[in-house]
Structure 1
């Protein structure tokens, strides 16, 4: 190696942020292995690279002993004192054993070590960058697919979009542009792994942030999301400004804002409801588009009994129970839905039962 190589390491330090000293120490460690491998040596050696000139030297390290049993690792006290009279027993003597053609091996090894460290540094930088971007929306281009994943080009790295994280019926081909949500960033031996999703509720939140400036700047806040990807979602919103209607802001003029989100999610239906700190009001709102007659709260069971008009019972429950299921998920309350006639019948039965118990008590 030459002084130019040392200068190149200094330039790498500036451009890639890889310490020159750490690189040189790594090269020295690799050269020890290279020396032992190429020269069949079992000696204890040290490699030294001059930080100014780039000169490489190999030193055999031997322990000073009275009687030598292994000349590869030991040196007698008399022999040591011939080199320096100050040596004592158990001192370490270093003897230069640099082979004549070691420069060629040193250059090859240095190139391999530097290339590996650059690759590791770039991977670490990508990992740190994407770790800070967890839970964010990202655009990518589908490159290929196998039985488990779509592989999405994210620029400096490839992301993994599992088939299980795509919406029902959603298929991508090579070259398709796709918006995804970063769910997880992991380190691996091959570099950072970026896991993506199209079904995560966070995707819906980020899409609304793109479309609704009032959400992006914090005027309107998304308080809760319940989603069955590709079919239907409910989003509860609250305004921190009394002059701003949170639902209207999300819907947009003639429904333009919410329609852009719906289009990105391939027609997924989205109910936008007004958040309320009053549980009964929140539950009533969550069953939209159904109207609600009354809500009875049972705190201990964290359950609510909701009464709706007879003609809206099926609307409140939804197809295969979807509307009620999403409302329960959004509010985190169990919801028991009754029609007005069912509720009236239950009330009459309860009154009759009470009267009978009172009559029995009188007897």
Structure 2
């Protein structure tokens, strides 16, 4: 070993990102293993590599004792003080014992150990890089598909998108760029294992933070998320600044911000509602695009009864109960939806429950079909009123 060897290690440091000291310590451990295997397995020894010249030396180590029981491991005080008068009991005396032909044997024995240490160091670097990014979003390239698992290339390593974390109906192609959410980073014997998701609500949150500067800056706060990946999501947003419309900020000019996110999620519908500290108003908002007549709440049980026009009942409940289910997740309240005619049968005087909800603000990225359906409902309702 010489200065050229040290230069090679420095180049390796730049290429792999592994500190020279880490590599030298790995090589010293490898040389010690080689020495014990071939020359002195029963001896205490250490190997030292000069950090300036690259020269290496092997030293035997013997402990200073009063009475020697094994001269390979111990030395009495009198002999130790012949070497150096400053030695005392318990000190360690070192003598150089570097074999003449040690270089060739050491190189052969140390090769695999050094390579393994380099691999371990690389794995640790990768693990530390991604361990702090749990809960973050990353972009990778679909590398391969095995047993329905999607392997995504992330440069020096890869992430795994398991079937349970894949969006329903979403197809993945080799070479496709994909945004995913880091769920967990595990340390394994084969290196770090990065588990990612396309269904986690955190993905939606991070996408909005990327698209909406007001969220990133803290001007707008994302209070809660309810998501059924691949189908529909609802988010509740709020701003302490009265001059900032949180819903408008998330929708963006001409709806561009939310449309970018919808495109990234392959058409998943997203409803954006304004969070309100008043539970009745928040529950009513959460059921958008359905219009709400009144809301009755039981604070202790966190139960809300919502009254909607008859023609809005199916829209409020949603297909297979999806709209009501998402609203319940978003608000954390159990929601019971009743039409006006149903309430009239139960409570003929139900009008006393009505609350003024005129100031509730709704915003929704519902589909064109939903919009047409809502307009049809409104037209029918208007026609019935004119007939009367």
Cα 1:70–1:286 change in 2 (3 A) is same
Gaps of 5+ in 1: 351-363
| Partner SS for 2:194 | strand
Over residues 188-230 of structure 1, what are the superposed CA-to-partner deviations in whole Å (9 max), with x where a residue is unaligned? 3333222211111121222223333443444433221100001
Corresponding residue of 2:135? 135
Q: Which residue of 1 aligns with 2:186?
A: 186
Are 2:265 and 1:265 aligned? Answer: yes
The answer to whether the 8 A contact 1:251-1:258 is kept is yes
Alpha-carbon distance, 1:134 to partner? 2.8
Distance of 2:67 and 2:132 partners within structure 1: 61
Given that residues 59 and 94 in structure 2 are in contact (C-alpha distance below 8 angstroms), is that contact kept between their aligned partners in structure 1? yes
* Cα offsets for 1:85-114 (capped at 9, x unmatched): 957877655444322211223445666565
- Taking structure 2 as the reference length, what is the TM-score of the superposition? 0.77
Partner of residue 97, structure 2:
97
Partner of 2:146: 146
Counterpart secondary structure, 1:47: strand
Q: Partner residue of 1:155?
A: 155
Q: Secondary structure at the match of 1:205?
A: helix
Structure 1: distance between partners of 2:3 and 2:97 = 22
| Partner in structure 1 of residue 327 of structure 2 | 327
Matches within 5 A, 1:82-231: 84=83, 92-108=92-108, 115-147=115-147, 149-231=149-231
Q: Tell me how far apart the structure 2 counterparts of residues 90 and 327 of structure 1 sit (CA, whole Å).
A: 73
Partner residue, 1:247: 247
Indicate the larger mover: 8-17 or 155-164. Answer: 8-17
1:180 Cα deviation after fit: 1.2
For 2:133 and 2:69, how far apart are their aligned partners in 1? 61
Comparing 333-342 and 200-209, the one that deviates more: 200-209
1:288 aligns with 2:288: yes
* Distance of 1:287 and 1:316 partners within structure 2: 6
Count of aligned pairs between the two proteins: 349
Deviations 1:228-248 (A, max 9, x none): 001111111223443333323
CA contact (8 A) 1:143 1:174 kept: yes
Q: Could you say if the C-alpha distance between residues 202 and 184 of structure 1 is closer, same or farther in structure 2, counting changes exceeding 3 Å? A: same
Distance, in Å, in 2 between the alignment partners of 1:311 and 1:270 is 23
Specify whether residues 62 and 264 from structure 1 end up closer, same or farther in structure 2 by C-alpha distance, changes over 3 A only: closer
Name 1:301's counterpart in structure 2.
301
RMSD between superposed Cα atoms in Å: 3.2
Q: CA deviation at 1:287?
A: 0.7
Judged with a 3 Å threshold, the aligned counterparts in structure 2 of structure 1 residues 341 and 150 are, in CA distance, closer, same or farther, namely: same
